[in-house]
DNA sequence: CGCCTGATTGACGCGGTTCAACCTCAGTGG
DNA sequence: CCACTGAGGTTGAACCGCGTCAATCAGGCG
């Protein structure tokens, strides 16, 4: 992911001023004196891809911010059915102040670096530093909106629409990174296995495989290998999502 | 609904001290001086069942607390498929501070009484009264957890499990209002039509009807009329939700 | 009484799951 | 160098849960 910062962490240079995501994280509104308080509390920890960061039900000793990498938030039913309920990207917050035990499984999808705070002291700081609480509220409300958009996909979309939605989100995000408007020919790496996509979309991996190949057969996308997607017809892909043309997805 | 309070509202007696949900609403942690500030800003408004409170895309002039009744938060796809993304019960908060336009449709499912605040002054108060922000954050985090639990329901549960989950949530809420632990024999009014339940659960109204009657046939619940439910066997109802026994539902 | 909305019930078919075989490719070790 | 292995992916066939369409019922109201 962001190898530069990972190296900085390893080398011990961990000053908030050089943090790549400070301006978007929970500490975004903090002033230097407040940052200093956080700086004294924080510790970095790195997780390997696939490693479990927390199990649902575990004591929640830490809360944290994702510095680099991608983590997933998921739940399972008694019989093992799994549903991913959130993707945590750099600057996203992990854990819930005020709760003793974790509600969801958190896993590192890629290598992940967390900036961790012990929960109790963090809660104390939250009560004392209004700017921290303000940003926390803002982030919680944004995540709530995103979760609600996803509920529409899970509850009402067909398998083909779900796949088209996921691909169009990934394509849009790729375009944004390249600072272009999304258009035909955008291509990106699918960093998720078919199974992870299935868990995210509320499908089985077989259905994911079939629908991706159906979109390929229909000329909406092109595949190179299993994991590299090129969007042949972006407008067509969007129309396949079933979304209202206005309104638009939250990413 | 709560006819008593509705009458109080009509008669003009609207003092926060007599408010049935003040201890659980956004103003829960406010002290008397702070309550007085809110008291000066607030205005009650009653909506008829079926009335639309806000359309997605509307300017968001007010935020509010649900005092009595049930409201729904929902969105639609191009072809009319609807998904409810939140159920607002008494003490729940409506609207999002910091956002200019609404993202979702809000409708009164039953007659609803809102305690409204103009958004701008409320945001100002939010910045000045820490106790208000604290409670707001707490409520937002709870809703986020609930939304994520709901994603599991929408993505992975069977029709029967979905119905059982909804009923057990409603039963739990009812018990909490009565300040009891949930147990066999709890009963409550199902203040939603079959169609509204279907929109909430990502099902069709026919399937909702069939599954409710199946739970009745199996002795899990009893029905009086179409809308009054008595939980004959609460443990059984819980086991029918498919949830992991630990972890547990968020209400 | 007829009308309308909400709810129930049945028949039927499809989309997506389930189960299973097989393919591909990257390690790994003899 | 090739055989072996295991993870990820594809594909097929059968099944079935739930959606779809349609008829009917129940209750409230003018």
Confidence band of B249 (pLDDT split at 50, 70, 90): low
Q: What is the pTM for the complete model shown?
A: 0.91
Span CA (B15) to C1' (C25), Å: 72
Confidence band for A2, pLDDT divided at 50, 70 and 90 = very low
Chain B hits for A245, CB-CB cut-off 8 Å, are 78
Q: How far is CA B39 from CA A76, B10, B27, B119, B167, in A?
A: 44, 16, 10, 15, 35
Contact (CB, 8 A) for B140 and A137: yes
A141 part of contact set with chain B, CB < 8 Å? yes
Q: How far is Cα B218 from Cα B118, in angstroms, rounded to an integer?
A: 49
Cβ of B227 near strand C (distance < 7 A): yes
Estimate to the nearest angstrom the gap between the alpha carbon of B15 and the chain centroid.
Answer: 23
A207 CB inside 7 Å of strand C: yes
The single-letter DSSP state of residue B46 is E
* Matching residue, tokens 């960093």: A191
Decide if A53 contacts A108 (C-beta within 8 A): yes
CB B242 within 8 A of CB A76: no
Q: What percent of chain B is predicted at pLDDT more than 90? A: 78
Is B76:A244 a contact under the CB 8 Å cutoff? Answer: yes
Query: Can you give the pLDDT at residue B84?
Result: 97
CA distance B179 to chain A (A): 22
Question: Does residue A4 have a pLDDT over 70?
Answer: no
Q: Give the domains, in start order, of chain A with CATH numbers.
A: 3-143 (2.60.120.10), 155-240 (1.10.10.10)
For residue A100, give every residue at least 6 positions away whose Cβ sits within 8 Å of its Cβ, in sequence order, or none: A59, A60
Question: What pLDDT is attached to residue B182?
Answer: 86
Nucleotides of D under 7 A from a protein CB: 8-13, 17-22
Whether residues B154 and A157 touch (CB distance < 8 A) is answered with no
Give me the residues near strand D, CB below 7 A.
A 193-195, 205-206, 208-210, 212-213, 223, 226-227; B 158-160, 202-204, 206-207
Q: Is the pLDDT of residue B237 over 90?
A: yes
CA B168 from centroid of its chain's CA atoms = 14
Question: Within A13-114, where are the H helices?
Answer: 32-41
Tell me if chain A has a CB within 8 Å of the CB of B10: no
pLDDT score, position A210: 98
pLDDT at B1: 43
Whether residue A251 is predicted with pLDDT greater than 80 in this model: the reply is: no
The span from the CA of A119 to the CA of A61, in Å, is: 5
Cβ contact A244–B83 (<8 Å): no
B20 touches chain A (CB under 8 A): no
Helices and strands in chain A, H and E counts: 8, 11
Confidence class for position B2, pLDDT limits 50, 70, 90: very low
Which chain A residues are closer than 8 Å to B58 by Cβ?
none
What is the end-to-end Cα distance of chain B in Å, rounded? Answer: 20
Q: What is the mean pLDDT of residues B219-233?
A: 94
Give the closest residue to B24 by CA, choosing from B188, B126, B138.
Answer: B138
Is residue B4 exposed (0-12), middle (13-18) or buried (19+ Cβ within 10 Å)? exposed
Cα dihedral A14, A15, A17, A22, rounded to 10, equals 50
**A132 vs A126: CA distance, rounded Å:** 6
Q: Which tokens sit at A90?
A: 């750099």
CB contact under 8 A, A202 and B137: no
Provide the angle, in degrees to the nearest 10, between the axes of the packed helices A32-41 and A119-128.
170
Note the pLDDT of residue B170: 92
Residues 104-143 of B with CB under 7 A from strand C: none
Is B247 a residue whose pLDDT tops 60? no
Beta-carbon separation of B151 and A81 below 8 A: no
Contact in structure between B60 and B54 (CB atoms under 8 Å):
yes
The whole-number pLDDT of residue B248 equals 47
Question: At residue B13, does pLDDT exceed 60?
Answer: no
**Inter-chain touch A75–B152, beta carbons under 8 Å:** yes
What is d(CA B53, CA B108) in angstroms, rounded to the nearest whole number? Answer: 7
**pLDDT value at residue A130:** 92
Residue of chain B whose Cα is closest to the Cα of A141: B140
Bigger pLDDT: A176 or A80?
A80
Check CB contact under 8 Å for A140 and B137: yes
Please write the tens of the pLDDT for every residue from A168-225. Answer: 999 998 888 788 888 899 999 998 999 999 999 999 999 999 999 999 999 999 999 8
**Residue B244 has what pLDDT?**
79
Say how far apart CA A92 and CA A67 lie, in whole Å: 8
Q: Which of A137, A202, A243 sits opposite B154 (nearest CB)?
A: A202
Q: Which DSSP helix (H) or strand (E) runs through B207?
A: helix B205-217
Cβ atoms of A234 and A179 within 8 Å: the answer is no
| Cα-based distances in Å from B191 to A196, B110, B179, B183, B227 | 38, 7, 20, 20, 7
Q: Residues A113, A48: contact at Cβ < 8 Å?
A: no
Q: Is the pLDDT of residue A17 over 50?
A: yes
Percent with pLDDT over 70 in chain A: 92
Residue-by-residue DSSP string for B83-137: EEEEEE-TT-EES-TT-SB-SSEEEESS-EEEEEEEHHHHHHHHHH-HHHHHHHH
CA distance B170 to B188: 8
* DSSP three-state, residue B154: helix
How do residues A27-63 score in pLDDT, each as one tens digit? 999 999 999 999 999 999 999 888 899 999 999 999 9
Q: Is the CB of B204 under 7 A from strand C?
A: no
Whether A1 has a pLDDT exceeding 50, the answer reads: no
| C-beta of residue B47 within 8 angstroms of C-beta of residue A238 | no
* 3 state SS of B204: coil
Distances (CA, A) of B190 to A15, B1, B125, B146: 55, 11, 36, 20
**Protein-proximal positions, strand C, CB < 7 A:** 6-11, 15-20
Segment B66-95, tens digit of pLDDT: 999 889 999 999 899 999 999 998 999 999
* Alpha-carbon span A102 to A118, nearest angstrom: 14
End-to-end CA distance of chain A: 20
Q: Give the nearest partner residue to B85 out of A133, A152, A244, using CB atoms.
A: A152
Nearest CB among A127, A144, A244 relative to B77 is that of A244
Output A176 or A144, whichever has higher pLDDT.
A144
């Amino acid at each position: 992911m962001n190898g530069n910062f990972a190296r900085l962490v390893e080398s011990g240079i961990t000053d908030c001023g050089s943090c790549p995501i400070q301006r978007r994280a929970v500490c975004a509104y903090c002033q230097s004196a407040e940052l200093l308080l956080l700086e004294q509390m924080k510790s970095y920890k790195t997780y390997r891809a696939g490693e479990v960061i927390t199990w649902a039900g575990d004591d929640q000793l830490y809360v944290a911010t994702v510095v680099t990498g991608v983590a997933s938030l998921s739940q399972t039913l008694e019989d093992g059915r799994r549903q991913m309920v959130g993707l945590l990207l750099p600057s996203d917050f992990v854990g819930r102040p005020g709760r003793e035990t974790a509600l969801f499984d958190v896993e590192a999808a890629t290598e992940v670096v967390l900036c961790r705070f012990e929960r109790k002291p963090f809660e104390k700081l939250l009560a004392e530093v209004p700017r921290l609480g303000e940003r926390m509220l803002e982030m919680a409300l944004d995540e709530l909106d995103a979760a609600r958009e996803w509920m529409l996909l899970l509850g009402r979309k067909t398998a083909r629409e779900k796949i088209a939605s996921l691909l169009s989100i990934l394509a849009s995000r790729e375009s944004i990174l390249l600072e272009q408007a999304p258009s035909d020919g955008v291509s990106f790496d699918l960093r998720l296995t078919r199974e992870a996509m299935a868990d995210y979309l509320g499908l089985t991996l077989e259905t994911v495989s079939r629908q991706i190949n159906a979109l390929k057969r229909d000329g909406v996308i092109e595949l190179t290998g299993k994991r590299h997607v090129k969007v042949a017809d972006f407008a067509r892909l969007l129309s396949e999502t079933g979304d209202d043309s206005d309104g638009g997805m939250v990413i």
